Amino acid sequence: MVDFLHSRPIGKFEPNPSRYLILDLGISKDISKLYYLPARWLGYNGVVTKYRILTSIDGKNYKKINEGKWEKNTNLKILDSLSVKARYVKFEILESIDEAIISEIGVGN
């Protein structure tokens, strides 16, 4: 789990692969869920609205397993249709409201 990530892009937001975080689970595990909690104390500021999820066994070769959009709100987001074995989970932020802010993010089975 990652607790409180706040990116600070300079200038106008342009989607690019530099807005991401990687969860290293230590060993390969079965993953069926990913959850993301926006920072609720800031209103809509920082809410991730478009994302891409990639996974890897070795940390070098990633495979896209999910991509989508979330509504502009501060509710807990849960992706529960994942079915993959991986050590690394890459969460790419493709769009957000202002600066991307993540209060919590995690994966599970």
pTM over 0.75: yes
pLDDT top residue among 88 and 7: 88
The answer to whether residue 15 scores a pLDDT higher than 70 is no
Just give the CATH number of 2-108.
2.60.120.260
72-95: average pLDDT: 95
The answer to whether residue 1 scores a pLDDT higher than 60 is no
Domain extents in the chain: 2-108
Q: What is the DSSP code string of the chain?
A: -EEEEE----SS----TTSEEEEEEEEEEEE-EEEEEE-GGGTTTT-EEEEEEEEESSSSS-EEEEEEE--SS-SPEEE----EEEEEEEEEEEEESSS-EEEEEEEE-
